[in-house]
Chain A
Amino acid sequence: MLKRIKGRIIAKGIGEGPAVVTRQPLSFLGGIDPKQGVIMDPHHELRGTSIAGTVLAFPQGKGSTVGSYVLYQLKRNNKAPAAIINALSETIVAVGAIISNIPLIDKLEVDPIAAIKPGSHVLVNCVEGFVEVEK
């Protein structure tokens, strides 16, 4: 069974993949290895997790605005997430997703961090503005 959850489109496109989910904000500059696409922040609960090709769900970005460029670099290295889901987007991830053509959606009708099972297949449609999750 699939369930559709509506949200707000921040960066256009459609992407799908296995979900990586965290309640902790993410810093892209210094927090993610742009060559490998792996979370390397030693204080992050998902340290060592690859985000390449995933649907990455986290509350919002934090840290340096250079983080936007790290998303761009991930994309160029084919290590970017297929799509991003934020609780509430802020400038760093919004700008990074737009310049990198990574679909980004936020403000879902339900808390995405609670609604999405880690590892489950998720589709993010940022043309119509919804997320499709396995129920």
Chain B
Amino acid sequence: MHLTRDEEDILAGESGAVKQKAMEILVALGDIYNAERLIPIESAQIAGVSYKTIGEAGLEYLTDLSGKVVVPTMLNPMGMDRYKWRQMGIDETFVERQLAIIRRYELLGIDAQCTCTPYYVNAPRAGAHLSWAESSAVSYANSVLGARTNREGGPSALAAALVGKTPDYGYHRDENRVPDISVRIDFPLAGSDFGALGYVVGKMVKSQVPQFSFVAPPNADELKALGAAMAASGSVALFFTSERAMPREILEVDRSDVDIYSSSEPDVVVLGCPHCSRSELAGIARLLEGRTVARPLWICTSRFVADRSSSVISRIEASGASVICDTCMIVSPAFEKRRMMVNSGKALEYGPSLCNSHTFIGTTANCITAACTA
């Protein structure tokens, strides 16, 4: 890989040991994936934030780190709502370790907004190069916003944030941003159907780049659900829905393939994977109008969106449901070993493995009805 003189200097340790290590990481990744150079990034987003996922290993590493990030950087969800952790039943030892992690990130100059939807806070422009780690945000940035990011790991995104650059390979490059396989959907879909579709298609296409053709164009929330599910059940980081030449390889999907909805009885219902947008919160508020929950209903969103949706949240919480921020059902220890109903293909994939919870999916409307039925 070719390095500029400034980059060579950082690699030689002239900007300190922390940036030197970060540069070593970027150069090693560049070598492994055959990049020719480093390119500047406009923002970073770091996964590995919940104490449940990174544990003492991650906290120890972060504690030894110093320096400052040089591009705007946000965090993935942590293990609890910053204020409502008692209500979530999180124990104080966890809280103490979790807050220590957040403090370490803040000392590095990172904006400690913990969300898998950083694009609601600060949307990257089309064509911007990013180093984002959250797989659903990677998919959304690449596929919906037209920005460019590989699917980073937590430590590689952090290295990129400290240096402000990333190796030029993968989805940063035009030649890799082309579809591999056509997915034809000739029946109508709406809302959470797109999460179910993504769950099914992700398993089939794995890391390929699918190009969809739909009966009607999906909205932004539906594209978010589709991409998040494909990134979890497969490792899709880019997909297309625009009119363009369809790849010759075709994946046929029937309506019956996508009908993975279950009528099991949950002991908890959790929505907001990925974190709810303002319009999704408004939709949930409409469905809950005049109803009362009979079993726990949690709705996850970012603090940024929650702060701008206070009247909608009051309407939701009038039903007895709780809106929580900074966290989600997958990375919080609050949703382990449950019978969990979700409206998300991504949560359906991770609930069994990461929460040890029997997890099943319903439409948003059916989730709300299940929560309101004794």
Give Cα distance in the complex from A99 to B159, angstroms: 10
Question: Among the listed stretches B53-61, B184-192, B250-258, B266-274, which one makes contact with chain A, having 4 or more residues with CB under 8 Å of it?
Answer: B53-61
- Count, chain B residues at interface, CB 8 A: 23
Which residues of chain A are within 8 angstroms of B53 by Cβ–Cβ distance?
Answer: 64, 66
Question: Among the listed stretches B105-113, B119-127, B148-156, B337-345, which one makes contact with chain A, having 4 or more residues with CB under 8 Å of it?
Answer: B148-156
Instruction: Report the minimal beta-carbon distance from B353 to chain A, rounded to whole angstroms.
Output: 10
Give Cα distance in the complex from A99 to B156, angstroms: 11
Which residues of chain B are within 8 angstroms of A72 by Cβ–Cβ distance?
Answer: 57, 60-61
Instruction: Report whether A76 and B60 are in contact in the complex, using a CB–CB cutoff of 8 Å.
Output: yes
Point out the residue from A10, A12, A65, A73 that lies within 8 Å of B155, measured CB to CB. Answer: A65
Which residues of chain A are within 8 angstroms of B48 by Cβ–Cβ distance?
Answer: 65-66, 69
Q: Which of B155-186 contact A (CB under 8 A)?
A: 155-156, 159
Interface secondary structure of B, over-half rule: helix
Q: A66-B154, A99-B155 are in contact. Are A73 and B31 (CB under 8 A)?
A: no
Chain B 18-42, CB-CB to A under 8 Å as 1, else 0, gives 0001001100110110000000000
Q: Does B47 lie at the interface of the complex (its beta carbon under 8 Å from any beta carbon of A)?
A: yes
Give Cα distance in the complex from A99 to B61, angstroms: 9
Give Cα distance in the complex from A11 to B25, angstroms: 9
Give Cα distance in the complex from A37 to B60, angstroms: 17
Q: A10-B32, A89-B32, A98-B28 are in contact. Are A65 and B156 (CB under 8 A)?
A: yes
Instruction: Report whether A99 and B47 are in contact in the complex, using a CB–CB cutoff of 8 Å.
Output: no
Q: A94-B28, A95-B25 are in contact. Are A34 and B57 (CB under 8 A)?
A: yes
Instruction: Report the minimal beta-carbon distance from B19 to chain A, rounded to whole angstroms.
Output: 13
Instruction: Report the minimal beta-carbon distance from B49 to chain A, rounded to whole angstroms.
Output: 11
Instruction: Report whether B58 and A69 are in contact in the complex, using a CB–CB cutoff of 8 Å.
Output: yes
Most-contacted residue by chain B among A72, A88, A94, A96 (CB, 10 A) = A94
| In the complex, residue of chain A having the shortest beta-carbon distance to the beta carbon of B47 | A65
Q: A73-B56, A99-B21 are in contact. Are A65 and B28 (CB under 8 A)?
A: no
Which residues of chain B are within 8 angstroms of A90 by Cβ–Cβ distance?
Answer: 32
Return 20 A-B CB contacts under 8 Å, by A number: A10-B28, A10-B32, A11-B24, A11-B28, A65-B155, A66-B54, A66-B57, A68-B154, A69-B48, A69-B60, A72-B61, A73-B61, A91-B29, A91-B32, A91-B156, A94-B28, A94-B32, A95-B25, A98-B24, A99-B61
Top 6 nearest A-B pairs (CB, nearest first) are A65-B153, A69-B57, A73-B57, A69-B58, A95-B155, A68-B155
